[in-house]
Chains A and B, each alone.
Chain A
Amino acid sequence: MGKYLIKRILQMIPVMIIITMIIFVLLNVAGDPTVNLLPLDATEAEREELRTAMGLNRPLPIQYLDFLGNAVKGDFGNSYRFNEPALDLALARMPMSVQLAGAALLFAVAMAIPLGILSAQFANSPFDLVISGISVLGRAMPSFWVGIMLILLFAVNFRMFPVSGSGTASHLVLPALTLSIQNAAQIIPLIRSNMLSIMHEDYIRTARSKGLREWSIICIHAFKNALVPVVTIIALEIPGLIGGALITETVFAWPGLGQFLIQAIGNRDMSVVQVCIFLIALITLVANLIADIVYCLIDPRIRYE
């Protein structure tokens, strides 16, 4: 385990370096940064001057090393719109995103676990068919469409929750529900199929022959083991919830990292874009690592070399 962990962490270093390369290439090669900083009628001489001042005339590899050196120190430059360090601005938005992601995860698990167990228990019944139909639909619907439908239903028609914004707990419900529907749609079939295969295991037969009640077998013996792959999936979904909430945050005007990032893209505030991509990628890598570790810890059958 220790060796594996060290190997995994060491493997993250080249991946991080490649991520910085992707970000660098995306922002410096795909577009000319001076286009966005100068007024449209700027002369070529002015443009050239700015390029020299920003160090954009140096060879690309040198610019990249410079960027990498600063990134390691946590310096991604200032946001040109807010004139503050981009990293601080992005970190300030994180709590809102974490709040949304946490609520979404809670909703998803609270929906998926009972529904998954019930549809395994009543496999091929009309209930099971309806639930699998809904989870297929949940995977087919893009998040912005789910969000709009929830607004139409619960905010416009029933007036139960606010259309958008933040501040109170009721503001959190619709965006969290939007995010959780897609997650639940992925977790439900997983729990269902795990439960179905586990119910044929020997230890379940033993529990039955001891005369335990069916529901205590399901809840105590089977469910614990069905949860193992689910925990991994949940850990893998966390980055998606934080970084992938881009569109959901925009639909509901939720002031998290995603909305901030989309605004920065709109304003071409590239140092903010860089730092946001970097943060999201880092969260993803760490979450993947945690998923591996947790997987190994909760299932004694799995041992990494």
Chain B
Amino acid sequence: MKQKGKSYRMPRWLRMLWRSKTGLLGFVIVSIAVACALFAPWLAPYDPNAINPLNMLKPPAFMAGGDPAFLLGTDNLGHDILSRLIYGARVSMIIGVLSVILAGVIGTAFGLLAGYYGGILDSVIMRVTDAFHSIPRMLLAMVAVTLMRAGIGTLVLVIGITGWITYARLIRSEVLVLKEREFVKAAVTIGTPDYKIICYHILPNVFSSFIVVSTLAVATSIIAETSLSFLGLGIQPPDISWGGMLSAGRNYLATNWWVATMPGITLTMTVLGIMFLGNWLRDFMDPHNQGLE
């Protein structure tokens, strides 16, 4: 039998994304950033570390004196800025995503323990989050990075470990609510072991807030990484970070503004894109919006 009249319908998330202007913009920006990170060697027009003394401090192509071969201009060493931005996306994305995974795992574990078991364990974990909360995260990260060897691994570790309290507090408060729900109480009554209750009844229900918070946390982590690199404590050459590019461009602000401005715009756009996507995800995952089409 032939099915007729059934035209193709986009999946629900795509339809909702299409309807949300900021969500769509965020999705496009994040997709571009991820594509740059994944395919940097193929997308970048030049070797990002190739020093080219003949083309030092060339303005972007759209300005007078710009060379169409260097779309966003070149820096003081003749590096092609566009190529460096594309490679910089790689560092930012890797550190952003991995550090958030680390923070999420640590924070969720502690949040589950505190919320589910309560009592002294809860008090201790909450006081520890209070303590971490009262030390600015950047400060902690700066000291830790100085004491360890600078590099991508260290940055992931440091930014991840200093980011766990958001998760611990969020997951704890969600678990406290879930614990009082009938399906969890029923599971306790029939003698389901704790680990099964946590894995099958609690974790799936905190998943949506976990994803929303994680998306926004990637933006915070990227800002932390670029800030550290800007101060010279993060990514070291020859690795490329937007923060490092900005820092190098500072000396040329008066004469060659694009050297510092291009990485700044890229960074702001990326963070903005992630925030838009995160806000859209929050609306999308909100069960009150499930019926909205």
Contacts and interface: CB of A to CB of B under 8 A. Distances in A.
Contacts of B132: 22
A152 B253 contact: yes
A148 B131 contact: no
A148 B144 contact: no
Contacts of B253: 148, 151-152, 156
Contacts of B128: 18
B246 A144 contact: yes
Interface residues of A, number: 47
A140 B275 contact: yes
B257 to A, nearest CB: 6
B144 A30 contact: yes
A250 B231 contact: yes
B268 to A, nearest CB: 5
A26 interface: yes
B130 A15 contact: yes
A108 interface: no
Interface in B211-235: 219, 223, 226-227, 230-231, 233
B127 interface: yes
B134 A15 contact: yes
Interface in B192-210: none
B268 A145 contact: yes
A179 B28 CA distance: 30
| Most chain A CB inside 10 Å of its own CB: which residue of B132, B134, B223, B227 | B134
A80 to B, nearest CB: 15
B150 to A, nearest CB: 13
A247 B224 CA distance: 11
B147 A26 contact: yes
A144 B136 CA distance: 16
A139 B275 contact: yes
A15 B127 CA distance: 6
A235 interface: no
What are the nearest 9 A-B pairs in CB distance? A31-B147, A18-B131, A284-B134, A140-B272, A140-B271, A281-B134, A30-B147, A145-B264, A243-B136
Interface of B: 127-128, 130-136, 138-140, 142-144, 146-148, 219, 223, 226-227, 230-231, 233, 243, 246, 250, 253-254, 257, 260-261, 264, 267-268, 271-272, 275
Given A15-B130, A148-B260, A149-B261, 12 more contacts: A11-B130, A18-B128, A30-B144, A141-B271, A145-B267, A148-B264, A151-B253, A156-B253, A244-B136, A261-B139, A265-B146, A266-B146
